[in-house]
Amino acid sequence: MKRPNTYVVDSFVSYMDEEEIKLSFKNSNYLQRELSHKKQSVIKTIRNTILSSTLHTDLDEATIVKYYKKVSTNKTYQSLKEHLYFTAVKNQRLVSIHKIFESAYEKTTFNIEKFFNQVNDYNGIYFLPVDNKQSVEFENKLGVIIKGIESEFEDFYENLNIPFLKTTELMEGVEKNSHIANSMVILDPYIFIDDNKRTPKIPNIIKTIKHFIPQDLAIPFTVTIVTKNAENNLLFENKRKQIVDGLGGKEKVSVEVFAPKTINESDRYVITNYSLMTAGHPFDRTTSFSCNFLISCVDDNTVLKKYEDWDNKLCQIKTIINNTPDFYGNIKASFYDETSKNRLLHHC
């Protein structure tokens, strides 16, 4: 079963534990109660994410062995921290990458870039020993979820589950679905087929993708489009070029298109590193979008179910791509650059 990969320092878990203890005391002031309720909701979301994850920690092997010994004696957890570690130990999902964390320190300063270059997981979730300014900076540079140790637990993507969102023919409204990402996969059998009576699709495809590209992204945003073959080489290559140019050129974005003869899928999907979205008839008419954000859940089992659905859809699309040749006779079916590799499709 596909699980989130979460990278967390022990000091973040301890801080979260301390905050939950503080919040357990009743507040008589209305505003304090509201703030406490908000923080509890955020901590719960983070807790569910960690409980459902393969947990990559800065704990050394000796400390992890101690947790194994506690669990083996059927000791019950006494805190949020023990709850998280005991669950990971019981399910053999607590992984020490202590040396990688340790090597990322330069004296007392944690170097995110150095750490990330070793981990190289563009679909991971990170709780790191950095301040809020650094976490926001590197979220936008890398297009991944990063929470810093100085978090006030005021938000954590908990409002991004959107079961129904109406968008216009110009895709106005889709920005409400936007969130941090570095890659996207679109499955739409008719995405490059324009109806003369409707709005041209390409400007709206560009507009939609732009909403998910962080402004300061330091790596090319990778896009894969899977659609039905139109037996028109020039049409698809021109449309791919229009999208690349509209998103800032090859330095900013990588776009690949795969066009098999048939696709046994009538629904349209837009998938990012952290979401599975479905759409009715997007890009040229009023339609509806839904966003299933993977870590915005009421419990850890729901997180797992969402990741399973996300993974299954990505692997289904990867199978379609693998079965699509470069050409059907003289008809081109795959449009890509040799260097373009979508980070979302690596694990399938």
Cα gap 217→141, rounded to integer Å: 4
**Residue 1 confidence (pLDDT):** 65
CATH architecture of 162-345: 2-Layer Sandwich (3.30)
**Residue 176 confidence (pLDDT):** 82
Amino acid identity, position 84: L
Q: What share of the chain is helix, strand, coil (3-state, %, to 5)?
A: 40, 20, 40
**Residue 284 confidence (pLDDT):** 87
Query: Is the Cα dihedral 18, 70, 51, 126 positive or negative?
Result: positive
Structural contact between residues 9 and 129, judged by C-beta atoms closer than 8 angstroms: yes
Domain residue ranges of the chain, discontinuous segments joined by + = 5-148, 162-345
**Residue 318 confidence (pLDDT):** 96
**Residue 182 confidence (pLDDT):** 97
**Residue 29 confidence (pLDDT):** 58
Q: pLDDT in tens for each of the 348 residues of the chain? A: 678 999 999 999 999 998 887 777 655 554 555 557 778 888 889 999 999 999 999 999 999 999 999 888 877 888 999 999 999 999 999 999 999 999 999 988 999 999 999 999 999 999 999 998 999 999 999 999 999 987 777 788 877 888 888 888 888 888 888 899 999 999 999 999 888 888 889 999 999 999 999 999 999 999 999 999 888 878 899 999 999 999 999 999 999 999 999 998 888 999 999 999 998 888 988 888 889 999 987 788 999 999 999 999 999 999 999 999 999 999 999 999 877 789 999 867
Strands 94-96 and 109-110: unpaired
**Residue 28 confidence (pLDDT):** 53
**Residue 32 confidence (pLDDT):** 55
Whole-number CA gyration radius for the chain: 22
Cα gap 48→126, rounded to integer Å: 14
